[in-house]
Amino acid sequence: MSCGAKKDVSRRDFLRSGASLATLQLAPGVTLMAFGGSEAQAAADAGKRWGLLIDASKCAPDCNACITACQDENGWKGGGNAETDVQWIRKVTLKDKSSGRETSLPVMCQHCESPPCVDVCPTGASFKRKDGIVLVDKHICIGCRYCMMACPFKARSFVHERVTNQKTHAPRGIGTVESCTLCVHRVDEGRIPACVEACEAAGHGAMVFGDLLDPESEISRRLAAYPSVALRPDLDLNPGVRYREI
Amino acid sequence: MRASLLMAGLIAMLASAIWAGEGQGGYGPVIPEATGEAHPEGNDYMRRWHMSMMRHDRDVTIYEGKREQNASLGGCFECHAAKDETGTPVTYADERHFCRSCHDYVAVKVDCFDCHRSTPEGVEEPAAHAALGGLLFPALGADVGALVAYLGAREVGQ
Ligand code: SF4
Ligand code: SF4
């Protein structure tokens, strides 16, 4: 790791200096983001809670940009077997029976504040990071799939088949359960999730990513200004993913 | 996996006793040559502790989100990508793979590469790489013959 070590240090310095250029410190703990996105995270920060706001009225029914981007980013392309293929994010169509109006929206792990998947996990593999991102530690997961049954959003998948060519930043393999990581590897570098980026690039801008605890963040300001809902609010899970216009 | 890592550690310790001569023609495994600078910690230290270093750093990464770790499989392959005749880095399915050069010698099968890629990013892992996995889950395709061939045994007692 000698050569690697040097590279890591310079990369770290780069990230840190990049972050200080792009942001303006207003007061201790209060930072103004110059270019959107988030400050490069040196580590998971308990002072933040990452979330998504999805505006269903901007989500095009025939668009799959978020799904494709997630597959490319995290390397989970299916093997053509619908019964067993994993699905980190899916497009769901809601239909109002009386009016016939249809709404299209992406659904992924909702990064619940009180995650049932974590409650039921017998090994401690399912866990919530201090910044609210819910993950599976695949070194511990035994593939029992309790979490899949506990999740009200069908957000988790079991890997049934052998996997090759994983992304270095997204290890995944047979016998473990996985779900949306909110692109945690990107978030830790101060970048936004791949789906949000792709939605923006496709010209829809239906998704906003940000810190729910920072009242000045774009996501918090929108949540404060317009009505929004959590999926299955009756369950009181306080998910980090919120929806508008559904 | 923890058990297998621990075992690898113990065996590596024992094996270091016969490591003299680095195996090139003598006893011990044949270790593919690496590129890049030598580990400042020394090879003996790496042989004894590489698994602990990776385990520590992976926990820090996944739970605390600190991604600037020194010990990572991806980092290993920056210098330790053993290549075939065509100069392409081989996968863990190939016995020339860097990790296998020692683990085969001590008859330890690690399952790191069920989830982690065994080549540098961008170097394709062909389907044969997945087939090797049958050894871990025999019901998924491996037969006794493949297991025996993999372990290098000469006879199968039935
Ligand atoms: S949406 Fe499902 S997988 Fe995600 S945190 Fe909630 S219960 Fe767990
Ligand atoms: S499948 Fe894995 S993460 Fe899910 S409940 Fe079982 S051990 Fe926990």
Tell me the count of A-B CB pairs closer than 8 A: 94
A170 to chain B: closest CA residue: B116
Output the pLDDT for position A79: 75
Mean pLDDT of chain A: 86
Ligand 2 pocket member A134 (CB < 6 A)? no
Strand A241-244 and strand A50-55: the pairing is: parallel
**Mean pLDDT along residues A219-234:** 97
Q: Which tops the pLDDT comparison, A162 or B5? A: A162
Ligand 2 pocket member A146 (CB < 6 A)? yes
**Which tens digits make up the pLDDT trace of A96-116?**
999 999 999 999 999 999 999
CATH of domain A50-244: 3.30.70.20
Residues of B with Cβ-Cβ distance to A163 under 8 angstroms = 114-115, 130
Least confident segment among A20-24, A50-54, A128-132: A20-24
The pTM of this model reads 0.78
Output the pLDDT for position A3: 39
Output the pLDDT for position A241: 98
* Domain positions in chain A: 2-35, 50-244
Measured CA angle at A81 (ends A79, A82), to 5 deg? 120
For A103-169, the three-class secondary structure string (H helix, E strand, C coil) is EEEEEECCCECCCHHHHHCCCCCEEECCCCCEEECCCCCCCCCHHHHHCCCCCCEECCCCCCCCECC
**Mean pLDDT along residues A57-67:** 96
**Residue nearest ligand 2's atom 8 by CA:** A121
Alpha carbons B77 and A122: distance in angstroms, whole number? 34
**Which tens digits make up the pLDDT trace of A125-155?**
999 999 999 999 999 999 999 999 999 999 9
Rounded to 5 degrees, φ, ψ at A241 are -100, 125
Interface residue of A74, A130, A164 to substitute, partner B, most B CBs within 10 Å: A164
Rounded to 5 degrees, φ, ψ at A139 are -70, -20
Output the pLDDT for position B68: 79
Which stretches of chain B drop beneath a pLDDT of 50? 1, 15, 17-18, 20-23, 134-142, 153-158
Of A129, A166, A185, the CB nearest to B115: A166
Q: Has residue A48 got a pLDDT over 70?
A: yes
CB contact (8 A) between residue A2 and residue B121: no
**Residue A29: both structure tokens together:** 């703990």
Distance from the Cα of B114 to chain A's closest Cα (Å) equals 5
Tokens 């929108």 — which residue? A222
Residues of A with Cβ-Cβ distance to B72 under 8 angstroms = 4
CA atoms B16, B20, B24, B26: torsion sign: negative
Output the pLDDT for position B11: 54
**Residue nearest ligand 1's atom 7 by CA:** A151
Alpha carbons A183 and A200: distance in angstroms, whole number? 16
Mean pLDDT of chain B: 76
Question: What is the rounded end-to-end Cα distance, in angstroms, of chain A?
Answer: 51
Output the pLDDT for position A40: 54
Question: Looking at chain A, how many residues does it have?
Answer: 246
Question: What is the rounded end-to-end Cα distance, in angstroms, of chain B?
Answer: 29
Output the pLDDT for position A178: 98
Element (H, E) at B45: helix B43-64
In percent, the amount of chain A with pLDDT more than 70 equals 83
Output the pLDDT for position B157: 42
Q: How far is the CA of B84 from the centre of ligand 1 (A)?
A: 44
**Which tens digits make up the pLDDT trace of A191-225?**
999 999 999 999 999 999 999 999 999 999 999 99
B135 to chain A: closest CA residue: A162
A128 to chain B: closest CA residue: B63
Output the pLDDT for position A191: 96
- How far does Cα A87 stand from its chain's mean position? 13
* Domain positions in chain B: 27-123, 125-158
Q: Has residue A164 got a pLDDT over 70?
A: yes
Q: ipTM higher than 0.95?
A: no
Q: How confident is the model at residue A243 (pLDDT cuts 50, 70, 90)?
A: very high
Output the pLDDT for position A58: 97
Ligand 1 pocket member A116 (CB < 6 A)? yes
Residues of B with CB under 8 A from a CB of A: 1-2, 36-40, 53, 58, 62-76, 78-79, 91, 114-117, 121, 124-127, 129-131, 133, 137, 140
Residues 6+ apart with CB under 8 A from A40: A15, A16, A18, A19, A189, A190
Name which of B150, B88, B156, B158 is nearest B125 in CA terms. B88
Output the pLDDT for position A18: 34
